Amino acid sequence: MIEVKDICKSFGTVRALSKVSFELERGKILGLVGDNGAGNSTLLKILSGDLQPSAGAIYLEGRRMTFRSPADAMRMRIAIAYQFLELVDSAMVWENFFMGRELTKGIGPFVFLDIPKMKQLTAAAISKYGAGLDVRREAGELSGEERQILAVTRAIEANPEILLLDESFTRLSLEGRKEIVDFLREVNKRNDITMVIVSHDLDLVKELSHYIMVLRGGERVYYGRSDDISIDEIVSYMLP
Partner 1 sequence: MRSKWVRYPLGAVRTGVMNYYTWFMFVGIYVVTGIFVPTILSSAILLNVLVQGTTVCLLSFGMTFVMLVGEIDLSMVAVAAFSPMGAILAWEAGLPVPAAIVLTPLLGCGIGFCNGVMITRLKIPSLVQTVAMWWMLEGVVLIVTRGVAKAGLPDTWMLLGRIFIGPIPLLVFFFLLVVVIAILFARRTVTGRRLYMVGGSRQASSAMGIPVNRIRIISFMISGLFAALAGYVSSSRMGFVSASFAVEWLMPAIAAPVIAGVSLTGGRGNFVNVIAGAYLVQLIVMVVRAGGVGGYFTEFVQGLLVFIAILVNAGRQRVTGK
- Binding pattern to partner 1, positions 128-147, x when CB under 8 A? ----------x---------
Rounded CA gap, 28 and 5, in Å?
A: 18
Among 20, 87, 131, 195, binds partner 1 (CB under 8 A): 87
Cα–Cα distance, 56 to 66 (Å, whole number): 10
* Position among 12, 63, 90, 239 found at the interface with partner 1 (CB under 8 A): 90
Q: Choose, by CB under 8 A, the member of 19, 64, 101, 171 that binds partner 1.
A: 101
182 Ramachandran zone, left/alpha/beta (phi>0; psi -120 to 50): alpha
> How near is the Cβ of 202 to partner 1 at its closest, in Å?
28
Q: Does 107 bind partner 1 (CB under 8 A)?
A: no
167 binds partner 1 (CB under 8 A): no
* Nearer Cβ to partner 1 (91/221): 91
Which of the 8 DSSP states describes residue 140? Answer: G
> If you ran DSSP here, which 8-state letter would residue 92 be given?
B
d(CA 217, CA 137): 42
Instruction: For residues 24 and 12, give the distance between their C-alpha atoms in angstroms, rounded to a whole number.
Output: 30
When asked if residue 159 is in the footprint of partner 1 (CB under 8 A), the reply is no
* Binding of residue 95 to partner 1 (CB under 8 A): yes
What single DSSP character describes residue 50? Answer: S
12 forms part of the interface with partner 1 (CB under 8 A): no
Q: Residue 69 region, left (φ>0) first, then alpha (ψ -120 to 50), else beta?
A: beta
Which residues neighbour 180 within 8 Å (Cβ) at sequence distance 6 or greater?
145, 148, 149, 169, 172, 204
CA distance between the termini of the chain = 32
Based on the shown chain and the rule CB under 8 A, indicate whether residue 19 belongs to the binding site for partner 1: no
Residues in the chain: 240
User: Which C-beta is closer to partner 1: that of 57 or that of 115?
Assistant: 115
Using CB under 8 A, count the residues that bind partner 1: 20
Q: Taking the complex as a whole, how short is the minimal distance between the CB of residue 139 and partner 1, in angstroms?
A: 9
Rule CB under 8 A: is residue 88 a binding residue for partner 1?
yes
Residue 100 within binding range of partner 1, rule CB under 8 A: yes
Q: Which is nearer to partner 1, 86 or 207 (CB)?
A: 86
CB of 67 to partner 1, least distance (A): 15
| Radius of gyration, alpha carbons of the chain | 19
User: Which residues make up the interface to partner 1 (CB under 8 A)?
Assistant: 70, 82, 85-91, 95, 99-102, 104, 111-113, 115, 138
